Amino acid sequence: MNTKMLLTTLALVTVVLLSGCKSDEPTSNTDNPTGIPVQGNSQSKVTLGGAANFAVLAGTAITSTGATNITGDLGLSPGTSIGGFPPGILVGTQLINTIESTQAKLDLTAAYNDAAGRTSTDIVTLSGNIGGLTLTPGLYKTTSTLALSSGDLTFDAKGNANAVFIIQVASSLTVTSGRKVILTGSASAANIFWQVGSSATFGTTSDFKGTIMAMQSITFETGASLTGRALARSAGIVLAGNVIVKQ
């Protein structure tokens, strides 16, 4: 083989190798910057008051189909209809228009307003799809809807078990089927707060973390799970064979 042929062959091999490496790169998130900045200002925990005792709390109604399993209290105010328990399993107390559930709804309103009113000089704005991102402690906001759709979402507390994450969602929150929230660096679901301006929907077999405070309704599709709390201010909560563990 002469020198010219050797150089040509080496060039072709290099192109093939580079092309193969490029195809293995992860797909970037086009809605948000790939490098979410670390915030210098920490947030204090949102005080839930009486709502902290509830795994599920709603305004108008709570309906469940299938083998839903809830650990924590189940409450309703001012509605009167809770259906599906049994066959659903409740490891806690069912409270319909009691002193406890009524006070919890008042405390939920205060907690929602607290989270919605938080400000910070280094707040981070998110948009569209947040799949594939890693969020560190601090305050985040959107100006419209938010979705977890093209990858999983990671919360990294950077070794601080008390680190707080607050996400202000201006409109709806949607989690598509199979997507999950991952906790790392000592992050805790008890310190993640989602303030949702309208309604939240969790797709089949999705696995979510944190306290969800929705202005309107919350819907869990078949097999979706939550570690945290599902708290709906004005409307209802729909369950379908879900596992919800208060934290």
Look at strands 69-71 and 89-91 and give their pairing. Answer: parallel
pLDDT value at 208 more than 60: yes
Tens digit of pLDDT for each residue in 49-106? 999 999 999 999 999 999 999 999 999 999 999 999 999 999 999 999 999 999 999 9
Q: Which residue has the higher pLDDT, 32 or 205?
A: 205
CA atoms within 13 A on the CB side of 73: 18
Give 180's DSSP letter: B
**What angle is formed at CA 21 by the lines to CA 16 and CA 26, rounded to 5 degrees?**
145
Cis peptide before 26 (omega within 30 of 0): no
Round to whole Å and give the CA distance between 78 and 51.
Answer: 14
Look at strands 237-240 and 94-96 and give their pairing. Answer: unpaired
Round to whole Å and give the CA distance between 168 and 118.
Answer: 9
**What is the Cα gyration radius of the chain?**
22
Tens digit of pLDDT for each residue in 138-148? 999 999 999 99
The pTM score is: 0.87
Average pLDDT in the chain: 90
Asked if residue 146 lies in contact with residue 175, where contact means CB atoms within 8 angstroms, the answer is no
Mapped onto helix, strand or coil, the DSSP state of residue 99 is helix
**What angle is formed at CA 115 by the lines to CA 217 and CA 200, rounded to 5 degrees?**
20
Work out the burial of residue 157: count CB atoms within 10 Å of its CB; fewer than 13 is exposed, 13-18 middle, 19 or more buried.
buried
**Torsion 167-196-33-181 (CA) sign:** positive
Q: How far is CA 79 from CA 25, 49, 63, 76, 138, in A?
A: 51, 20, 12, 6, 35
Interacting residues of 16 by C-beta distance below 8 A, sequence separation 6+: none
Round to whole Å and give the CA distance between 42 and 47.
Answer: 15
Strand partners, 181: 153
Mapped onto helix, strand or coil, the DSSP state of residue 179 is coil
Express as a percent the part of the chain with pLDDT over 90. Answer: 85
